[in-house]
């Protein structure tokens, strides 16, 4: 089993920034992709961003391109999501996820995910 613990959520105003972090522990695979998805109340979960084991391949949901940046430190099994110019539409619970490939995560194929951290953006 892999455990994922997210941190960094909060309440901010539109235009502000937040940085989410996630630490993986337990029986982590030898090489794995990490990413984030989110779910707003009453809505389907949606992919946000993912990154390959090497950190060289990234995928982003179109509405967050240019505003969000995903990064990872494979040595410490952590992934971060820097979110700039936040919009009220970004309000959701953000979940960290682990999968075999970054493109698989972009298709919703995660093997593990965390408990989530709330991000609320007021207008």
Paired with 36 in beta bridges are 49, 96
In 3-state terms, what secondary structure has residue 64?
helix
Instruction: Give the pLDDT confidence of 46-73 residue by residue, as tens digits.
Output: 999 999 999 999 999 999 999 999 999 9
Q: Give Cα 113 to chain centroid, integer Å.
A: 10
Task: Give the pLDDT confidence score for residue 122 in this predicted structure.
Answer: 97
Model confidence band, residue 74 (pLDDT cutoffs 50, 70, 90): confident
């Amino acid at each position: 089993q892999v455990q994922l613990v997210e941190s960094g959520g909060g309440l901010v105003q539109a235009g502000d920034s937040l940085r989410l972090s996630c630490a993986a522990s337990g029986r982590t695979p030898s090489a794995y992709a990490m990413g984030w998805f989110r779910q707003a109340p009453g809505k389907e979960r949606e992919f946000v961003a993912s990154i390959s084991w090497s950190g060289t391949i990234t995928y982003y949901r179109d509405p967050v391109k240019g505003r969000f940046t995903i990064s990872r430190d494979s040595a410490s099994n952590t992934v971060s999501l820097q979110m700039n110019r936040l919009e009220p539409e970004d309000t959701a619970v953000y979940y960290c996820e682990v999968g075999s490939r970054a493109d698989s995560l972009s298709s919703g194929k995660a093997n593990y995910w965390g408990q989530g951290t709330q991000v609320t953006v007021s207008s």
